[in-house]
């Protein structure tokens, strides 16, 4: 099975790799403004709110909204993108004295990236798998009448078109489609093609190594995209006489098990409940079974707060 960090779906979402540093922003932090380094909230909700305030101060023309703990949505003329703050939050927790500089680099990098965004390259297009609530949030952020590049996948899950960038995953906008001369359907197909090689490799490795108990693919924000390729799971499903169980409890985790084993479904439900409860970005508590025509919903895990 894939080991943690092995999935090669794209660059890690680290948000703190910018080299430029805005002295003005550091001064704001140091003097109090959004918070002295030691005063930056240590809880996820408070930290997210503080960063959102900084985004609004530095880029008042952009619409910044809090989606959830350590997750923002930033709307510009070129579209809407999600900003994940996990890496910067962890970095500040490890080194409070450097938190102001870390935050300054994050905000400047993201602001500059959104304002100066160029047309996407075909090789940057990807797909992600997210729940309907996530897609509804994107729809609410879009200008009236502008579609979200997405289509239903199975149950409550949607396949979403995005562009993979050094500091973020940006949802595709109408401007992106126009620049690429693609329809929404064509963009989603391209996103799948750009991930297909990685998915094939991961499933081939699972076939070769075998599956005992509940196994997992764990990687980055594209890992749940494995569910967008039911046809590529056939070699593994056939190894289990078609009784392959799969779940995507989090954006970076996919679980699987041999459904022929009597305890597999119960073990999967337990594993899914635990992973969903702990997930920074939950996707689905549902356990699916592979079929030749796609995924079939067979059970839903009962998720309790951790």
DSSP string, 149-217: SEEEEETTEEEEEEEE-SS-EEE--HHHHHHHT--HHHHHHHHHHHHHHHHHHHHHHHHHH---SSEEE
- Range in 1-15, 187-201, 221-235 with the lowest mean pLDDT: 1-15
Q: Pick the more confident residue, 24 or 43.
A: 43
Given this model, what pLDDT does residue 87 score? Answer: 77
φ and ψ at 59, to 5 degrees?
A: -135, 75
Q: Point out which residues pair with 55 in neighbouring strands.
A: none
- Range in 56-65, 193-202, 294-303 with the lowest mean pLDDT: 56-65
Q: What is the mean pLDDT of the chain?
A: 81
* Mean pLDDT, residues 257-261: 94
Given this model, what pLDDT does residue 106 score? Answer: 72
pLDDT digits (tens, 9 = 90+) for 160-191: 999 887 767 888 888 889 889 999 999 999 99
User: How far apart are the C-alpha atoms of 233 and 229, rounded to whole Å?
Assistant: 7
pLDDT digits (tens, 9 = 90+) for 111-134: 655 555 567 899 999 999 999 998
User: How far apart are the C-alpha atoms of 78 and 119, rounded to whole Å?
Assistant: 9
């Amino acid at each position: 099975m894939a080991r943690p960090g092995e999935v090669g779906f794209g660059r890690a979402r680290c948000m703190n790799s910018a080299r430029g540093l805005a002295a003005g922003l550091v001064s704001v932090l140091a003097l109090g403004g959004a918070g002295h380094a030691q005063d930056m909230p240590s809880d996820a909700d408070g930290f997210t709110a503080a960063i959102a305030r900084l985004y609004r101060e530095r880029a008042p023309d952009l619409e910044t909204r809090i989606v959830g703990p350590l997750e923002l949505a930033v709307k510009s003329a070129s579209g809407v993108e999600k900003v994940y703050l996990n890496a910067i939050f962890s970095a500040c927790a490890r080194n409070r004295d450097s938190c102001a500089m870390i935050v300054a680099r994050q905000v400047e990098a993201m602001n500059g990236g959104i304002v100066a965004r160029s047309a996407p390259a075909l090789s940057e297009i990807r797909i992600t798998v997210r729940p309907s609530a996530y897609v509804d949030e994107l729809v609410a952020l879009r200008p009236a009448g502008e579609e979200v590049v997405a289509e239903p996948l199975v149950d409550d899950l949607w396949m979403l078109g995005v562009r993979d960038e050094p500091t973020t995953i940006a949802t595709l906008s109408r401007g992106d489609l126009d620049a690429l001369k693609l329809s929404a359907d064509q963009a989603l197909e391209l996103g799948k093609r750009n991930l297909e090689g990685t998915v094939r490799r991961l499933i081939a490795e699972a076939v070769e190594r075998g599956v005992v108990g509940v196994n997992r693919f764990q990687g980055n924000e594209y890992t749940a995209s494995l569910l967008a390729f039911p046809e590529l799971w056939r070699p593994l499903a056939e190894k289990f006489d078609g009784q392959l169980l799969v779940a995507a409890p989090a954006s970076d985790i996919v679980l699987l098990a041999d459904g022929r084993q009597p305890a597999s479904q119960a073990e999967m439900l337990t594993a899914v409940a635990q992973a969903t409860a702990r997930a920074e970005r939950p996707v689905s508590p549902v356990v699916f079974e592979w079929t030749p025509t796609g995924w079939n919903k067979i059970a839903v895990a009962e998720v309790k707060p951790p």
